[in-house]
Structure 1
């Protein structure tokens, strides 16, 4: 018996479009176009695993991962531009199927991360440290900030890309002492803000670790969380703060 295609509500379509930022995840073309001052949709909701697979498709995808047993579930669909949808369906290939599975899994993980971001807060005092990264003139006038980030090499494994590894080391080399001093200044009022922030970072890290994410994913998630919670001018500050806590042992033992 053939599976019935459902009609996704406007709210569901909006959520699905938000997941891909309004562009086709395969060709990056916009999923809407304008004509005569009106906006029209140029997308279709594509089933990643086919809703009603042909015998040939069943054989082709026999050993492939499925994102949901319910083929109409939002986990198994993704908005594609009409051109890419047609190419994806006919003829279907294992390579293109796997590509969309990987894309959708990243989207699902990101959605889960956003739920985690809502549950884990960071003490407001961290804004003073972030502001100092951008504005404090003492960073430029300090005579010599000499700090060797030796423990970074011991903590980072092969899942960390070379550019990320270098970025973390450089951030630690340039900013570790500066940020540590800013946290010490916060603690002068006796409220131990730095310890609270450290515990919050540690709890977020432990939550990430339980999902068996790679270090690369954990670092990126930590940066994104700090960025979402503190909204600095650029992501640089979030990367610098995350790197500080890598060296300080709250992220990666």
Structure 2
């Protein structure tokens, strides 16, 4: 046995429990992170697995793999840790096992690190409450008619958004600017009406949005990932809301300063 094979990181294979297996599936949201294929297939009344739990750094590396992966980052305290495993479809798992190049390994490391970070953020902000009444605002976006939207459309130069989101986030910037132009005045008026009628405390809602943003920012640097995490959080807190409505509301709070800082 070589010196590297005998190192503490490499330990005997451990069985994956059903709970841990489910955790791996939940982590990738039911889709293979390499090819995006669905990892479950319904057959009759049963759901069949189309995935396997893959080791990112191999449990029993071949000499060629030891040489190929020498000196590269490893996740977890040992090769059997959750951090060193990931759910992949059977095809991608088989290909990875047979073609474990430096590039493929680092690609999987990068994906796993993003998944771990996203899970950490999700847990962190899941405990952050959101005023139940904000569902009234989100649902109102589903009921708005085109003539009202056109009447309240905001004509402006998105200077505030431009000062908070770099041009490198072109698609995110365009999405937020479009949402603000289309929905800002409507959301603002809805918040004001609900606040004045004591159906909602806007300051409390705004502070909850701000705290959730700061929690995301502690774990993530990428603004697109932060925006997506906030949208998912809001959607989880407002049953039956659409992804588009939640994006519009989070975009409103980007414009009104609760989300993202001015670019230094």
Q: TM-score range by the shorter chain?
A: 0.7 to 0.9
CA distance in 2, matches of 1:158, 1:247: 16
Query: Contact 1:159–1:215 at 8 Å: present in 2 too?
Result: no
User: Residues 3 and 190 from structure 1, CA distance in 2 versus in 1: closer, same or farther, beyond 3 angstroms?
Assistant: closer
User: Partner of 1:202 in structure 2?
Assistant: 210
Aligned to 1:51: 59
Q: What TM-score, normalized to structure 1? A: 0.87
Match for residue 27 of structure 2?
Answer: 19
Find the counterpart in structure 2 of residue 133 from structure 1: 141
1:251: Cα distance to partner? 0.5
Q: 2: CA distance between counterparts of 1:227 and 1:33?
A: 26
What is the count of residue pairs matched by the alignment? 252
Pairwise CA distance, 1:167: 1.2
Find 1:245's aligned residue among 243, 249, 253.
253
Give the alignment partner of residue 214 of structure 1, picking from 203, 222, 230: 222
Which shows bigger deviation, 47-56 or 176-185?
47-56
Distance 1:16 1:141 in 2: 42
Structure 2 residue 192 is the aligned partner of structure 1 residue 184? yes
Bigger drift between 33-42 and 96-105 goes to 33-42
Cα pair 2:149 2:182 within 8 Å, conserved: no
Contact 1:139–1:178, Cα closer than 8 Å, also in 2: no
Q: Which residue of 2 aligns with 1:65?
A: 73
For residues 29 and 145 of structure 1, the distance between their equivalents in structure 2, rounded to whole angstroms, comes to 39
Show the counterpart of 2:162: 153
Of stretches 239-248 and 80-89 in structure 1, the one that deviates more from structure 2 is 80-89
1:114 paired residue among 107, 122, 141: 122
**RMSD of aligned Cα (Å):** 2.6
Return the offset for 1:58. 2.5
1:40-81 alpha-carbon deviations (Å, 9 max, x no partner):
544332110111223332232223221112110111112333
| SS of aligned partner of 2:88 | strand
Contact 2:40 2:48 in 1 (8 A): yes
